[in-house]
Structure 1
Amino acid sequence: MTTYAVAHLHTTSSHEDVVTYIERIQDTLDPFGGRFLVHGSPVEVVEGTWPGALVIIAFPDGANARAWYASPAYREILPLRTDHLSGDVVLVDGVPQDYDPRRTAAAIRATR
């Protein structure tokens, strides 16, 4: 099942370290099958507020996502981002191809 690394970066910066991080991140993703789906594209806020930028990276599965995040190559460049950008980063599993939210609703109803 696909796992996503999702970052909500509350601040943005064009600091030289951040640019270097962006230049180097793809090489850390490649061994784990990671690929960008969203990378700082403008968001259209239709509910609530959204300060900052959104990044979504897809991995083949959770094991690859966690291995990438813990990898020495990524750990080496991580401070280039975290020293200059604040935000939240989560890893989350996607849903299967045949996911039907009605089954989820039925399971919730069954537990009431």
Structure 2
Amino acid sequence: MSAYLVFNYRINDRDAYDPYLAAVPAILEAHGAEILAADFDSEAVEGDARHVTVVLKFPSKEAARGWYDSPEYQDIIGLRLDNCDGMAVLANGAGQ
């Protein structure tokens, strides 16, 4: 059953964030994730959305959690959390 991680955030310090952006694709690939969307100029049509939106597809919620909790990702997560404001949501795919 596929699962999706959706991130929506504002970058507050681009120079400090850039090492995260460089490191995260290899970690995603190692955990079987697929990047479905990555938009740094996304448009809010409702609510208080930020300008960065990323949608990741994983084989399951367990696989998504495995990536998120992995030592490799935990080593770089601070680069995003310390330099951005926003949210992340983990959801099952439709019909699951």
Query: Normalization by structure 2: what TM-score?
Result: 0.85
Deviations 1:14-68 (A, max 9, x none): 6223111011001111222112111125334444453322111111111110000
Where in structure 2 are there 5+ consecutive unaligned residues? Answer: none
SS of equivalent to 1:19: helix
Where in structure 1 are there 5+ consecutive unaligned residues? Answer: 100-112
**What aligned pairs does 1:60-99 form with structure 2 within 5 A after superposition?**
60-96=59-95
In the aligned structure 2, how far is the partner of 1:71 from the partner of 1:48?
Answer: 32
Equivalent residue for 1:2?
Answer: 2
Structure number with higher strand proportion:
2
Deviations 1:54-109 (A, max 9, x none): 1111111111100000000000000011111011111111114xx8xxxxxxxxxx
Structure number with higher helix proportion:
1
Bigger radius of gyration: 1
- Runs of 4 or more off by more than 6 Å in structure 1? none
Which letter does structure 1 place at the counterpart of 2:78? P
Equivalent residue for 1:106?
Answer: none
Two-structure CA RMSD over aligned residues (Å): 1.9
Identity, in percent, stands at 30
Equivalent residue for 1:21?
Answer: 20
Which letter does structure 1 place at the counterpart of 2:91? V
SS of equivalent to 1:86: strand
The number of aligned residues is 96
